[in-house]
Structures are given as structure tokens and as C-alpha cells.
Copies of this chain bind each other. A is one copy, B any other.
Amino acid sequence: MARLTTPEEISKLLDYETFLFDCDGVLWQGDVLIPGAKEALALLRQHKKRIIFVTNNATKSRKAYKKKFDVLGIEAYEEEVFGSAYATAVYCSTVLNFKKEDRVYIIGMSGIEEELDAEGISHTGGSDPADLQAGPYTLDQFTDDPSIKAVIVGLDQYLNYTKISKALQYLVRNEGCHFIATNSDSTYPAADGILPGAGSMYAPLQYILKRSPVSIGKPNKTMLDCIVAKCVQHFDRKKSIMIGDRLDTDVKFGIDGGIDTCLVMTGIAKEADITGPNASPIKPTYVMASVECLAQLVGTS
């Protein structure tokens, strides 16, 4: 674990070809841009580096995520964005080889729906008004549907008893029905506190079925497999680096995927997580205060 402090140390990063960026806590905090983020990315583009944005946020599609970059004034392209909703849709189409007649039941929001649409996979649940009924849910409202081959669970701010009950029926009644999570983050950071995340959406089903879902987002390697598969140019892991603010997702994702990592201190990880008696066993290749450090290199050769 090397600290990158001086411009000489920081400039080592420019030896990499591909930069994978987590977004929240790295480029922005909530809706506020982190100082220097824009300049850091501009510098990398100027040096012809490949930039990839890797986010576990499955509530937004790549298209919707791109709009967030636009609003914040950051140059970004839809094909550079890899969200867990997109990776989940790609997993269904390429790993599970879902056919035209196969359908998916969604606990989740429009991000998953849009990405499944883009991959040509039919779905039900999600934002369907029929599943937004407050309750109670009884089984005479349920119709068996053997075409449902998977239940996909992501963060759903409209989670309710109806959706959990329907997902349970498919998982119990449809033999071989896949149980997939966009990611397993138990919470997500809101402006002034924490709210339940994707992991807590599938917790009831996991508790009932005594079975964990296949989780797609960071730190799981499916996300990197998806990125590698979709990259037009060759993806050289030895020349790639993951820049993130969380040890248990971003840094673990890099380590498990065989790529170097750089922790920034502008998000979740605190100094005590990397040094001292309670430090995490997950160690990044580098630690840097902020992406702002990269911006300092502007103007140097």
C-alpha cells in the first residue's frame, strides 16, 4: 500500500492504460461534484486513457446515469458507464442465454427495466402498477407463469409485501428459477444518513429460502467479466486500475479481478480503515487523498 502524495508519486498512475472509476464518493458526493474531478478526468482523456465508470447503482440505466454526468458538467459517454443493472441484463443474455420467450420478475426500479429492454429480455414486476398495491397479498391473486426464469432484485424504493410475495412464488414454484441480485450493498448513503440498499431488498427471500442470490455488482467478478466482454479494445488487466472510496466493494473488486487499486479518502473509507489496529485486511495498491491529486498534474508533461 503506497501513499501517492507528491506530483512524482501521483504521476505513476499515468503508466496505466485503463481507469475504472467508482462515482459516488470519488467524483461526487450526492449531487455535489468533488473539486478537481472534472479536471482529473480531462487530464486522463488528454493522455488518451480509457475511462470506465463502474457503479453499483441499479436504479438508473446507463442512459439515465449519463444525464447525471451532463448535469454535473463532466464529459462522459454512455458506453463508458457500467452500472449493475446493465451488467445484470448482460448476465441474463450472455451467461444465462435467456431466449425470447423467457421472462424475468423484477423487484427494482426503471434502471433494470431499461437495461433488460436494451438486451431484448422480457420482464414483469418492477414499476408495474399492479405490483404497487399496498397489500394485503393473497395467493388467489397469483397466476403461475412458467416463463419466469429469474427473479432479479435491486434497490426498490417501492418495495412492498406484494412484490416479495410474488417473487417468492416464482422462486419456489418455477424449477430452476434463477435468483439474481444487482448488488449486495445493505444500505446506500443518502445526504444525511443511510437508507436500505439492494441487499436488504432480497434479505426476506434469502431468509425464507435459505439461499443467497447470485450478486452481480462490485465486488463480484461478474461485473468485471461484463466490462471485459463489452470492451471493444483489448482489456489488459495489468495496465488497469480501479479508483474507489470503499475497501469492501471497490478495492475488493479490483483485487479479485486481478487489477491494481487506488483508494481515495473522499467517501466511505476513513484513515482507521487502512492503518491502526482496526484496519481492514483489504489493502489497496495505492492511497490518494482525492482525485484532485490527479488534477494537480495538469500542465506537467
| A residues at B contact (CB < 8 Å) | 132, 134-139, 142, 156-161, 164-165, 168-169, 172-173, 186-187, 190-196, 199-201, 203-208
Contact = CB atoms under 8 A, between A and B. Distances in A.
A190 B165 CA distance: 12
A47 B159 CA distance: 52
Contact of A203 (B137, B195, B206): B206
A139 B187 contact: no
Name the residue in A164, A192, A208 with the highest tally of chain B Cβ atoms < 10 Å from its Cβ. Answer: A208
Nearest to A192: B139
Contact of A165 (B132, B137, B164, B196): B196
Copies of this polypeptide in the complex: 2
A130 to B, nearest CB: 13
Nearest to A173: B193
Given A200-B203, A206-B207, 6 more contacts: A134-B158, A139-B195, A156-B161, A160-B160, A200-B204, A200-B207
Given A137-B195, A195-B168, A186 B161 contact: no
A208 B204 contact: no
7 contacts: A137-B157, A156-B161, A159-B161, A172-B194, A196-B208, A200-B203, A203-B203
B196 A204 contact: yes
Name the residue in A139, A157, A159, A193 with the highest tally of chain B Cβ atoms < 10 Å from its Cβ. Answer: A159
Nearest to A138: B190
Given A135-B158, A137-B157, A157-B136, A208 B186 contact: yes
Contacts of A186: 207-208
Contacts of A201: 204
Contacts of A165: 195-196
B193 A169 contact: yes
B191 A139 contact: yes
Contacts of A137: 157, 195
A203 B196 contact: no
A298 B158 CA distance: 55
